[in-house]
Amino acid sequence: MNQMLCMDIDTVSQRQDRLLATLERLLELPTTEENWMLNQAAQLVAEALGAEKVDIFLHEPATDTLVALGASDTPMGRRQYAIGMDRLLLMNGGRLVDVFLTGVPCLTGHADQNVEGLFGVKSIISTVFQVEECHRGVLSASSSKPEFFLEQDLLFLQAVARWLGIAIHRAELVERTKQAAVEQGRRLAAEELLTIMAHDLRNYLTPLKGRLELLGRRALREGREEDVRDATAASHTLNLLRGVISDLLDVARLNRGIFIINPQPINLVDLVQEVVSAFTGPGTPIYVHAPQEVELLADPDRLQQVLANLLANAVKYAPKHTPITVQVDKERRGDEPWALLTVSNGGPGLCLELRSQLLHPFVAGVASTGLGLGLYLAHRIAAAHHGTITIDSPQGQGVQVTLAIPMEDEDCLSKKAPM
């Protein structure tokens, strides 16, 4: 009797040593290749427990299915995979689905009464694993022998499940970092290309502008009114193109941290009246509501750039003959006075998701034909003045864009845009 007891103690001790050695080998697995790592982990667990099949199921949200992305290479595993047991729909229920949904582990030595028993399985242990506190899958071990697994086997499986959650999280972080690096590389390459093109185009536009002005003056002198109109229209289009090129170069300057502002005392109301006069036309009336003056320290050229971008968008997207409103106001935020400049139109509204993205570079509305730089530059110019740009679409009708700039504390105003 004592000899048998010693043998049992020796067997348990050997089993514990084997399980601990398996945990050490699992910790050595690289997590860069997720599928390979999961298959290796399943194989190691199967060997440690003497299980005839080990599965690592991950939840697939698109199909609401548990999918075995890791599995031991064993006869029972291959046989069950051949009949499609590697995918378990949550709506069909079952022992493993219950473990995933409830988080309650399972240990049974008599699975004959359940669907698992139809495939020769009698003993099962399974436990959920989590990634960032969310249930992400189930780790399961099976045997055709009854009462095969012990409580300590389940504890071992739970330890492996905790490691799985950490390993999968790490692998996903690495993959997201790689994707972010690729996207960043693509964006930087695209911006570099656009910057080079912008510089080259600007060099070609200067003599072209001179030729158009020469043609316009000649047509005016010779009384060719139609040619004068065409030359004027061509010059207007050229100025729009020069504006696009200027925006591209400003984006490049922002990315290099050399975006300079030159603050000086200005009357915001005078600046608004000057810019609005260039946009007002019979098709789209623009109304200005403002006090006589709003004095602040700011870069007038950059604020003109902001207002011109806002008005260009408002005119472009407002229905014909729909008025545009420019509101200049002041308000107190805490102990500090702020100047507010709001441009509103009655065009189609913007959804919340798009409004949150429009302040990023190269993001434009569905109907836009531009590069999506105007609001981004407006946002960065506001930030350079320690101000803000906000976009609102009340009840999904029309769009209001508000520039807010602090009016005091001149020492806080930096000459460079914050990076």
Burial class (CB in 10 A: 0-12, 13-18, 19+), 397: exposed
Distance CA 267, CA 269 (A): 5
Residue 16: CB partners within 8 Å, gap ≥ 6?
152
Pairing assessment for the beta strands 286-289 and 324-333 based on DSSP bridges: parallel
Distance CA 122, CA 144 (A): 5
Q: Percentage of the chain with pLDDT > 70?
A: 75
Judge whether 57 and 138 are in contact, CB under 8 Å. Answer: yes
Residue 7: pLDDT band by 50, 70, 90 thresholds?
A: very low
Of 212 and 280, which is predicted with more confidence? 212
pLDDT of residue 359: 64
Judge whether 99 and 127 are in contact, CB under 8 Å. Answer: yes
Question: 302: closest CA among 417, 166, 165?
Answer: 417
- Residues 167-185: what's their mean pLDDT? 83
The alpha-helical segments, DSSP class H, found in 59-150 are 75-82, 95-102
| Amino acid present at 320 | K
Q: pLDDT tens across 190-248, in order?
A: 666 666 666 666 666 777 788 888 888 888 888 888 888 888 888 877 776 777 677 76
The C-alpha angle 233, 239, 244, rounded to 5 degrees, equals 130
Per-residue tokens: 410: 């001149």
| Amino acid present at 34 | E
Q: pLDDT tens across 150-167, in order?
A: 898 999 899 899 988 888
Residue 412: pLDDT band by 50, 70, 90 thresholds?
A: very low
Residue 117: pLDDT band by 50, 70, 90 thresholds?
A: very low
Distance CA 407, CA 237 (A): 36
Quote the radius of gyration of the chain (alpha carbons, Å).
34
- Residues 388-404: what's their mean pLDDT? 82
Question: 294: closest CA among 408, 158, 165?
Answer: 408
- Residues 304-331: what's their mean pLDDT? 83
Write out the DSSP string of 210-240.
HHHHHHHHHHHHTT-HHHHHHHHHHHHHHHH
Question: 44: closest CA among 65, 13, 76, 18?
Answer: 18
Residue 127: pLDDT band by 50, 70, 90 thresholds?
A: very high
pLDDT of residue 321: 74
Question: 333: closest CA among 390, 414, 289?
Answer: 390
pLDDT > 60? residue 419: no
pLDDT > 90? residue 6: no
Judge whether 355 and 319 are in contact, CB under 8 Å. Answer: no
pLDDT of residue 119: 65
N-to-C CA span, the chain:
78
Burial class (CB in 10 A: 0-12, 13-18, 19+), 282: exposed
pLDDT of residue 141: 92
Q: Which region among 25-39, 189-203, 330-344 has the lowest average model confidence (pLDDT)?
A: 189-203
In this structure, the number of other CB atoms found within 10 A of the CB of residue 117 comes to 15
pLDDT > 60? residue 409: no
pLDDT of residue 355: 61
Distance CA 382, CA 310 (A): 13
Q: pLDDT tens across 339-391, in order?
A: 999 998 876 666 665 666 666 655 555 455 455 567 888 888 888 889 998 88
Distance CA 54, CA 142 (A): 6
Half-sphere exposure of 299 (CA within 13 A, CB side): 22
pLDDT of residue 216: 85
Q: Give the mean pLDDT of the chain.
A: 79
Model-level pTM?
A: 0.49
Distance CA 350, CA 357 (A): 11
pLDDT of residue 65: 92
